[in-house]
A and B are shown apart, each in its own frame.
Chain A
Amino acid sequence: MRKCQRCGQKAVVYLPQHRLSLCKEHYIDWYLKRVESTIREFRMFDRGDKALVAVSGGKDSLSLWDALYRLGYNADGFYINLGIDEYSQKSKIACEKFAQEKGLSLHILELKKEIASIPEIREVERNRPACSSCGLLKRYYMNKFAKERGYKVIATGHNLDDESATLLSNVLSWNMDYLARQFPVLSEGDGFVKKVKPLVKFTEKENALYAFLSGIEYIEEECPFSEGASSIEYKKILAQMEERSPGTKLRFYMDFLRRLHPILQSQEVKLRPCRICGEPTTAEVCSVCRLKERVIPKLLSSSPSS
């Protein structure tokens, strides 16, 4: 039987990459300290900064919000209702319940009121994966909302598995521009609010363990449109390597940040305010306003006339 390396009680968690066995109490303590040290290491934000946490109802974002709350940060939640049937209903309830129990403030944006639901957009944009429109819209409304409400920073629950899978994909195609922009902090400017990822040093399992051991009721099910998603394949390949050689993912990602990222230069892009909505864009009209121009007329013409 493995024992907790902090108190000698029975361990419930063993973390091979850290060679660490911990009981429930000391796992939560370890997790919170690591969130705090990641925020400091990358100078993400301070306790005085008004932060907006993007929450989906899943393990990563709710663990992040919970950790920031326990560590005494000033963090409100932001949930975008994508209108994906039962999945969205359940995830919205998980976020609302969490906020209510902790007495935290949760903002909800209804995508259907802004443009249309993801299933409706998917019907019109048939040659584009739903995840692509969905990601674009989430980033757009997160930034717009945070700016309008005076939030200094947006925090998302991206984890080590997300980041190392993205890194592997970017390396396999030598996408230099994406590599240059892959960093846990994106600074503010040109109409963008600062964005941070305080969970980049935690695996998905570590986040799920924190959520479970802290009694957070998150939704386990996956978005129905993410079936067959490319990131799962990269994650499984990395998991095989990690099993044989614990610490591979963390080393792959952290050494990229330390050794390669500093010498990469992102291409200078000229940003200007969108002619329609004023959000930053490289074109005259931003991608979201162009999406609206394509989607809204089609939905209006296909809806039954009353």
Chain B
Amino acid sequence: MRVKVSYRGQELDLELGEKTSRARDVLRALGLSREYAFVVRDDEVLEENEPIREGDYLRVINAISGGYI
């Protein structure tokens, strides 16, 4: 299953494998943790178990930010 993802100013094509994919699989494919990132579709936040559909256009928001301690 392929989806398009907008992430930090980039447009990415993601291959999620053949089985049913969920929002958490999109985060996993980008190497992000559910602890600091989430998926948005059609301006709606997707709860992590929400199924993803072929051809979905998704936005991923990564909330982690840093500075020197």
Binding site for B on A (CB under 8 A): 1-2, 10-14, 21, 24, 58-59, 129, 131-132, 135, 161, 165-166, 169, 203-205, 207-209, 212-213, 220-223, 226, 229-232, 234-236, 239-240, 242-243
CA distance A21 to B45 in the complex (A): 13
Which one of B8, B36, B46 contacts A220 once the chains associate, using CB atoms below 8 Å? Answer: B8
**Do A203 and B35 touch (CB < 8 A)?**
yes
Which one of A1, A234, A239 contacts B33 once the chains associate, using CB atoms below 8 Å? Answer: A239
Which one of A208, A221, A231 contacts B66 once the chains associate, using CB atoms below 8 Å? Answer: A231
Number of A-B residue pairs having CB atoms within 8 Å of each other in the complex: 91
A-side contacts of B45, CB under 8 Å: 12-13, 24, 209, 212-213
**Do A12 and B33 touch (CB < 8 A)?**
no
B20 to chain A, nearest CB (A): 14
A13 to chain B, nearest CB (A): 6
A-side contacts of B67, CB under 8 Å: 131, 135, 223, 226, 229, 231
Q: Is the interface of B mostly helix, strand, loop or mixed?
A: loop
Residue of B nearest to A60 (CB): B65
Q: Is the interface of A mostly helix, strand, loop or mixed?
A: helix
Contact indicator per residue, chain B 34-69, by CB within 8 Å of chain A (1) or not (0)? 111110100011111100000000000111111111
Pull 13 A–B residue pairs with CB atoms less than 8 Å apart, ordered by A.
A2-B47, A12-B46, A13-B47, A14-B48, A59-B63, A132-B68, A207-B63, A212-B61, A221-B9, A226-B65, A226-B66, A230-B69, A232-B66
